Amino acid sequence: MWRAKFMLGHSEERKQVARTIGSNTDPVLRQDVRLRLRDLRQALNNEGPRTIGDRTVASLAREWLVGKPQASPGSTREYERIVKVHISPPPFGRLKVAAVSHRDCEALVAAWRKDLSESSAVKCGSVLRQVFKFGCKRGFIVINPVTEVKLPKEAPRVVSKATVSHVEALLAAADPVLQVAIALAFLTGARRSELAALGWFDVNCGRGTIIITSACLRARDNPHGWKSVYTKTSKHRLVAIGDCEWLQLWWNRQRIYAGDTFSGSGFLLSDDGGITPITPSQLADRFSTIAKRAGLEHLSLKSLPHESVSAPHASDIRVTATTAQAAAITRCIYALMLK
């Protein structure tokens, strides 16, 4: 016994219309029925009463860009680039929306698999599905032809975990600024942008805590070259790191380096005494250099929190390093700061 459910589009009330069929037939006949139903769905698009106008795929994609939910500026620019470069160009972009079949979409996706990277093909497939879904909701077509297409899927990423011994080797090979960044990344689980935005006002040495309130990103349109933004989840986090004497040593180093210009309210990670922060990309580049020097090329700055913290929950509450891990890293960084 087999049973299949087929989505036939949307009714006048914008509700999905589905049909379910089943039989005791053999797999060959079942596949034949599926193909016949797929052709029937294409015929509904070509001859259905809800087909409106002579819209092409390119024009439908442009309408989707205007009517889609609000996204971040970076995502919007990426959507516009995908539509302009990968969907709108002929011959696919000149096809009438009602005449597009699943075979046309399969041919386009096959070209993406061949010419683009895996991640780019996944993004293009997602945009293509949303464009035709938008056409169904607006009533331009009855059936979404992309539903019959197997879109690219990105393979799950394998994150290399950093152990305490790895962190100690990285600290020994790093410069003072990067030593502080590595220790804080391991102890707090903060993102690179959040580490770059940490200031001395965020540290409470008496209680041994750090509050993470913002993130620092590179900004070409800003005269300073960076800008302060909300964290990824727009929420503050209070993290306990224990003994902060090594941070007091780092404060003294920055005060001696900056001299009279040091106010004690600047950035923790800075090459000029707290005046200018180190951007996340600069942190990543410098970390890559010392990781190669330590023989740990497989690690990145993102790898450090994965051993000491759990995956972030919806509320962005993270479990900090265990007492033994924190004590080991604190002893190591304290000894390096005394040199």
Q: Where are the domains of the chain?
A: 2-148, 164-338
164-338 shares the fold of 2-148 = no
- List residues bridging with 165 in a β-sheet: none
Contacts 24+ apart (CB under 8 A), 262-266: 264/200, 265/199, 265/200, 265/201, 266/199, 266/200
pLDDT in tens, 118-143: 889 999 999 999 999 998 888 888 78
CATH topology of domain 2-148: DNA polymerase; domain 1 (1.10.150)
DSSP H helical ranges for 174-279: 176-188, 192-197, 245-258
Asked whether residue 230 carries a pLDDT value surpassing 50, the answer given is yes
pLDDT in tens, 269-308: 888 777 888 888 888 899 999 989 888 888 888 777 654 4
- Domain spanning 164-338: CATH 1.10.443.10: yes
pLDDT in tens, 46-63: 554 444 457 899 999 999
pLDDT in tens, 5-31: 666 555 555 566 666 656 555 666 666
- What number is the average pLDDT over the span 307-330? 52
